[in-house]
Structure 1
Amino acid sequence: MSEKYKTKDRDGIYFISISVVQWADVFTRREYCEIICNSLAYCHKEKDLTLYAWCIMTNHIHLICSSPTLANTIRDFKKYTAKELFKAIQQNTQESRKPWLCWLIKSAGELSSKHEEYKFWQPGYHPILLHNNYLVEQKLNYLHRNPVTAGFVEEPEHWYYSSARDYAGSQGRLHITFIQ
């Protein structure tokens, strides 16, 4: 992993992206998005993760967050959610893409350097330190406008799985801390 994408500042606020293997559109079902939200809530409560902004897209997640142990927290988050999401896909009787998604996730595991049983997430999480107000605003706008740019909604706050609601003055799905 490049030195460019490591968390060096334990107190820093980072913009991170976590992507599904092969950019598969998994988060098109509420059940899968709820696994992500519940896990983020757990990390906030139990692992000292501070969320400033977040957005779940169909095949990736963006977070603006901080934690004294960010690398470990994200590692644990990815490990837990990979297991839970794979299990949810396998057990979902309504999932029309189940054979394909299971094949994709298992194939990614077999092809990985560790030859795992399955692999849900792409390696890494691409942390970018937001060391000034310009970067904070840029990434916050990018994150919240992602569903608008993708053509899913007309206004950022219309996307349920995002902190844009909080920033627009409504109650969002997860607890966030506003950036000062």
Structure 2
Amino acid sequence: MELNQIYFYTASIKDWTSLLNTDKFKLIVLDSIIHLVKKEKIKVYGFVIMPNHIHLIWESVSMNGKEKPHASFMKFTGHQFLEELRKRDGGILERFKSEDGNRNYQFWQRNSLPIKMYDKKILEQKLNYIHLNPLQAHWNLVSDPNEYYYSSCAFYEREDMTFDWITDYRDAM
């Protein structure tokens, strides 16, 4: 992903495991995003954290040391997932055992999907898609997308400033 470009980004937990089902793991993702925003490494225009994947509309603003921010995000959250699972493991950690010689565990699938946002209309379509994600029949997490806490929907629809670190896309495009 290039710096100073807005992307729609999807990352899935390995084998579509519902690791993000509990708030503890969702908060690891959220805290990592907030940390990178506060360090001015990324801007986030929209997000949703689902039980087994995340969608972000974000922009990498500057390198995080020698890494691009998305790489730091994936690495940090993976380390935090490992630490948390070691504390509470009920056998789930074995699902993430890696055959890769570079690592013992892998939490994110390797095929994260970044799609460059070239215009406002496409960005709005993707934002609408992620905000409606919790309502899909196979998830059925809420009946009103504004009620799903781990989403930027209420930021846009209700001007809810719970996530005041979100950058309004209308100010960027």
Give the alignment's TM-score, normalised by structure 1: 0.84
Give me the whole-angstrom Cα distance separating, in 2, the residues matched to 1:134 and 1:33.
29
The letter for the 1-side match of 2:118 is H
When residues 13 and 122 of structure 1 are mapped into structure 2, their CA distance, relative to the original with a 3 A threshold, is same
The corresponding residue for 1:102 is 93
The corresponding residue for 1:131 is 118
Matched-pair contact (CA < 8 Å) for 1:82–1:121: yes
Number of residue equivalences: 164
Give me the whole-angstrom Cα distance separating, in 2, the residues matched to 1:174 and 1:91.
31
1:127 aligned counterpart, secondary structure: strand
Q: 2:83 aligns with which of 74, 78, 87?
A: 87
Within-5 A mapping of 1:21-170: 21-69=14-62, 72-92=68-88, 98-99=90-91, 101-106=92-97, 109-110=98-99, 112=100, 114-149=101-136, 150-168=139-157, 169-170=159-160
- Residue 171 of structure 1, CA deviation: 2.5
When residues 174 and 62 of structure 1 are mapped into structure 2, their CA distance, relative to the original with a 3 A threshold, is farther
Give me the whole-angstrom Cα distance separating, in 1, the residues matched to 2:26 and 2:117.
26
Give me the whole-angstrom Cα distance separating, in 2, the residues matched to 1:29 and 1:83.
17
Q: Structure 1: any 5+ residue segments left out of the alignment?
A: 1-6
Deviations 1:11-61 (A, max 9, x none): 221100111000000111111111111111111112520000011000001
Deviations 1:78-114 (A, max 9, x none): 111101112112212xx6xx20x211111xx12x3x4
The letter for the 2-side match of 1:170 is D
1:118 aligned counterpart, secondary structure: coil
Matched-pair contact (CA < 8 Å) for 2:43–2:61: no
Identity of aligned residues (%): 29
Matched-pair contact (CA < 8 Å) for 1:54–1:143: yes
Give me the whole-angstrom Cα distance separating, in 2, the residues matched to 1:75 and 1:69.
12
Q: Structure 2: any 5+ residue segments left out of the alignment?
A: none
